[in-house]
Structure 1
Amino acid sequence: MIVREKIQSFESLTLIKEAAFSKNTLGRKIREEEDCIRTCYMLDRDRIIQSKSFRRLKHKTQVYIKTFGDHYRTRLTHTLEVSQVARNIGVGIGLNENLIEAIALGHDLGHVAFAHNGEEVLNEYLKGGFRHNEQSVRVVTRLENDGRGLNLTEEVINGILNHSGLGTTKDIITLEGIVVKFSDKMAYLNHDIDDSIRAGLLSEEQLPKDIVEVLGDNSTLRLDTLIKDFVKTSNDNINNGIKEVGLSKEINAAMIELREFMFKNIYLGDTLKVERNKAKFILEQLIKYFEENPEEMPEIYLTIAKKESLQRAVADYIAGMSDDYCLLLFNKIFVPKAIID
């Protein structure tokens, strides 16, 4: 028996029947020979980790706080924390940890530089709007690997596509995908509070008292409460024949209220308004420049311009940039250089 088959046999012994078994995958758009060691979801995870888009996450902002310190989260460390939370929940329920990890590691590949500010700019610019979850799918299906994509399984692509927001989960085809959707919020709410306190933009005392009473008075306690409640509620559902995973009503309501608080006071609040406007200005100038000078974009985007549209190509190019690269290009293009005779 080859190693992959041993792993698949282990899945049948350790996972609940509602889990996504790798041997039952819906497959890839382009059929491939199976790996002798890795299951399909393990292979997807490895392809995502080895991608250029994944590496660029280390220089993309999580919340737009200029991260002079080493301890603030970036989009990459956020991704790793989502994976950690989701895998812990998945193991607690008996779901496929490899599928969870692949979805979690790929969920934010399409995020723009400067966090929510970048997404707002591209959403206004691109006909039909811009959503980072859809861009993440575009990255793994259209942009990575010199335009060939990563040829991931349908389950991973579906989880990436539907991870965003706190709305319905009806379009998510696996319980593993639902776990990542919730874990994303659990992770960013807690670490963004931690970073905001570190930056002096927020204090624990400012958090709504009713939320603190339900979830806990520090980030560790809040995350612990959320994870344990999710596992307990989900296991109770499964044991009662209900194929649903999620939080209890009380804990879910508290998390939603905490999310609303963070959007009002940090993500979209007045505290970072000046910095957000600076970021938007940089992105708007780069968009205008590459629309007027498309020949300066890499070849893959010129191909997209011909096959789809120049607007789509510019949006793809801008979306892939890290904060540092945006600033570097802006300075190169628009900031005067010293002239030495």
Structure 2
Amino acid sequence: MSKDNSQAVQNENANISYTDFFLLAFPGLQKSRSLLAIPFFCIYLLILLANSMLIYIVKVENSLHSPMYLLIALLLVVNMFGTTTVLPKMLLSFVFGTSSISLAGCLVQMFFLYLALMLDTGILLMMALDRYVAICHPLRYADILTNRNLTFLMLATLVRSVCIVSPVVILASRVQFCRSNIIEHFACEHMALMKLSCGDTSKNRIVGMAVRSLTITFDLVFLTISYSKIILAALKMASGSARHKAFHTCSTHLIVLFIGYSSCLSSSVVFRVARSATQDVHNLLSAVYLLVPWAINPVIYGMRTKEIKDSLLKLFQRKSTPFLLQKSGT
């Protein structure tokens, strides 16, 4: 195509402004989309069931009504919320080939998806603060982490998350989309949507990168300082059992942190380094980055937190006892 014809096509496209889009999920695997629906549907069920079970345990067990377990339950609620913003639309695209979404719906999905991710990191910061107070200032724990202060921290986390996400979504809402109305992604991810835009989107890209970089940098600095002080305080404990319990609890949180941030960083690095990789590879990495932490978090807390594990065993014993009695009676 000549330069003049190319310019003519661009001018013609500039007069188009798409307000409805189609999500393709994995563009190169359209022939296998029905098979892809099975594992992702199973992942969705796993996330909903596992997270719901642990939230129920924290709710019904009075011994778990402390800040640490309430924060775990809150994290699991956000896990289910974040999953539900993405997977139903993804499953529809697998079943029907594409999943339609309006521009307004796309921006709403983007907002709530990124809000869930920011709430995840905010709650993990609150968990670090909880462990810091519990280990470094145990005598003042009940006075510092009162219900009022905990509610304030939750509201502050929500406000922080909204303030971080809103500029990205607001800037995206002001962009004209004329290149295509096909989003080669399973969700309205910011960069996937910007590929369809007309004109200069450098401001959107800079703001998106700045928000992500500054947030991760601040979080990692805060977490490093907090857990450094926690480890030093734990090493000074006279009781070996108390020291072991402190390290065990903190190691559980650190495993969750490592999985979440390593998934995020590896996805970002591969996206920028392996530009020659297919869109399906990038989408798969995005799915891993989003879904793996949300699926693994309840497993980690269920297996490594003694109080939650004991409560789960009690629940299963209570459920199985009537069945065994009924079976023995027959």
**Bigger-Rg structure (1/2):** 2
For the criterion TM > 0.5, the same-fold answer is no
TM-score tier (shorter)? under 0.3
Q: Give the helix-richer structure, 1 or 2.
A: 2
TM-score between the two structures when normalised by the length of structure 2:
0.25
Higher relative contact order (CA 8 A, sep 6+): 2
